[in-house]
Every structure is written in C-alpha cells, then in structure tokens.
Amino acid sequence: MTTVPVTSTPGIGARLAGLARSRETGIFLALALVIVATTLKNPDFLFSADGWRNLLLNPSIVAVVAIGQAVVIISRNVDLSVGSIVGLTAYLVGSLFLAFPQIPVPLVFVIGVVFGGLLGAVNGALVAFGRVPAMVITLGTLYAFRGINVWWTGSKRINASDMPDGFLDLGTQQFLTIPVLTILAVVILVVVAWYMANTRGGREFYAIGSDPDAAELYGLAKTRRVLMAFVASGAASGLAGVLYTARYGTVNSQVGDGFELQAIGAAVIGGVAIVGGSGTVLGAVFGAYLLLTINSALPVLGIPDFWQRAVVGVLILGAIVLDRVLAQRQSRRLHEERSAA
C-alpha cells in the first residue's frame, strides 16, 4: 500500500496568514491609505507626472540609509553618525568632480561606498573592540564627522554646474516611469534582504541582537559581526551621499543633517525592534517611504507644520509600544506552551 503525499495547502494558508499579520504588511497598508487619502484630496499627488516621480524618488535616499541602519539595530546597536557620513561623502563626490572633471561615474560610486564604509569601520572598531556603547561612540562621531565636514566645506558650495550632466541625469532619469535612484534602492534592498534571510552571517546578526552573551558563548563571531554591521551602515550612507549629490546637484555643509533620526525612525516604524534581534530591512524601507510620504501628504491635507512633526513622533512612539506589546504577548505564549509541555 503506497502512501499518497499530503498537499501543502495548509502550509500555504499558514504562510498567507502570517503574511497578513506581518508588520511589513501593516506598514504597506498604512502607506497605501496615506496615498489614497491624499490623492482624493488632490489627484495630482499621485496622478501627475511629478507626483508619481516624487512619491517614488524622494524617500529612496533615506531608504538606502535605513537599510544600513536596520542591520546595525538588528545587531542591538545604533548608528547616529549616518547623516554626517552622508554629508561628508556628498562633499567628497563634488570635490572629485571639481578636481577631476573626467572621472568615470562608476568610479565615483565605488569611492563613495568605500569612503562611507571606512567611516563606518571607525565606528565599528570603537564599538566592537573598545566595548563602548554604540550610542556613545556614534554620538561622538556624529559631531566629529560633521565638524570635519564644516571645516572642509567652510562657506563654500558645490553647484550642479560643477558636475557632469551624465552624473546629474541619474537623479532625474526614469525606466518605465520608475526613477533610476529608486531602482538602485530596490536592488540594494533585495541584496541585503536576501543576505539577512538566507545566509548564516545574516542569521548571526539576529542571534547576536537577541542575546549577545549567549551568542558569544555559542561561539558566534560577535566582534566581527558588529564591525561588519557598522561597515555596512557606513557603506549604505556613503552610497546615499553619492545619490544625494546626483539628485540635488548642490552640496554644502548641511547635507545629511537629520538623516540619522529619519533612518532610525524608519527602521523602528518598519518593525525593527530597537532592542535588537528582530525586524527586516524590507520593513525599514517601508518605514522610510511611510515617513517621507506623510511629510509630503500632510501639507496637501492642510495640516500645519507642528502637527506634521507630531504625527511622525506619534508613529515612532506607537511602533515602540507595539513592539513591547508583541514581545510580552510572545513571551506569555512561550511560557504557556512550556507549562503545557
């Protein structure tokens, strides 16, 4: 008598149910709700050529920074220096074009990413080898990197006329109505999300963030992973600095100011637990798009600037409270299952 394999329909149903309950789905639905409500108020918000482009393009740079920030937070750390790294890299890019007008654009991208990764390595080395809390280290490097940027730039400003058209075109070009910068952000998202979900190294970030001491006792390379997380964050910020320069064309000492709060807010709103060990880079990207879309939508809805900031603050607080509630609920469920066993 042969045994007929059972179909995997229940498994598919369970996966669909899990997808419906996931934080990423909730953030995506909230984003869609904001877009629909604002479009009903002003159809040009979505259906005009500029509206569609800006909806996809404006959050893409913050989304790239949020991807790197999410990796750091998952490892139970935080990087407050990302905005300063964006600013330094942006001015480096402009300076390269001033000094070497014929420099290949792909080489500029490589230099920007490597430069950002080196700055991230400074943070990672101090945190991983010095055993100093990441918030303290990156708060210091936030001001140190910003101070170097202000000293370097002074009152000077690099304008779009100082850069080649081929580079600036990246900030406006589209492929099938999708901005090129958005496509680049999606490529980075896919690569990092795959790595975090499907490789041993990616899973070790979660293990270290969940319980650093247990992970170290288990034999995981905690020091190396923490260093890698900060290098990844710095590299993502360096790439964002290059993209910022291509998008706006004008670089001064204020570039990147406030990006650190937007990146952390995007990651937290997107379901990356601030205490580490859970969340996804996809959620961080959805959080970035929700944050910046709300900033664009509220003026259209006639909401004053004060309330715009308040809404963002409420979103972040709500995300933290929700994470806490879900963590307590899971802890109770695990306790009940152990008691029943």
H-run or E-run covering 175: strand 174-175
CB-based contacts of 169: which residues, under 8 Å, 6+ apart?
none
Q: Is residue 1 over pLDDT 80?
A: no
Per-residue pLDDT, averaged over 316-338, amounts to 69
Q: What is the pLDDT of residue 25?
A: 83
Give the pLDDT confidence score for residue 238 in this predicted structure. 95
Q: Where do the structural domains in the chain lie, given as residue ranges?
A: 57-283
pLDDT of residue 9: 46
CA distance 317 to 285: 18
Could you tell me the pLDDT band of residue 20, with boundaries at 50, 70 and 90?
A: low
Please give, one letter per residue, the 3-state secondary structure of 46-73: HHCHHHHHHHHHCCHHHHHHHHHHHHHH
pTM of the model as a whole = 0.88
Q: Which amino acid is at 76?
A: R
219: region left, alpha or beta (phi > 0 left; psi from -120 to 50 alpha): left
Taking only the tens place, the pLDDT of each residue in 245-276 is 999 988 888 888 889 988 998 998 888 888 88
pLDDT category of residue 47 using cuts at 50, 70 and 90: confident
The token pair that represents 308 in the structure block: 């715009």
pLDDT at 225 over 50: yes
At residue 280, does pLDDT exceed 80? Answer: yes
CB 158 within 8 A of CB 265: no
Phi, psi of 175 (to 5 degrees): -130, 115
- Return the ∠ at Cα 277 (arms to 272 and 281), rounded to 5°: 40
Q: What is the mean predicted confidence (pLDDT) over 192-199?
A: 93
3-state SS, residue 115? helix
As a whole number, mean pLDDT of residues 128-157 equals: 90
What are residue 174's DSSP bridge partners?
179
Q: Report pLDDT digits (tens) over 76-124.
A: 999 999 999 999 999 999 999 998 988 999 999 999 999 999 999 999 9
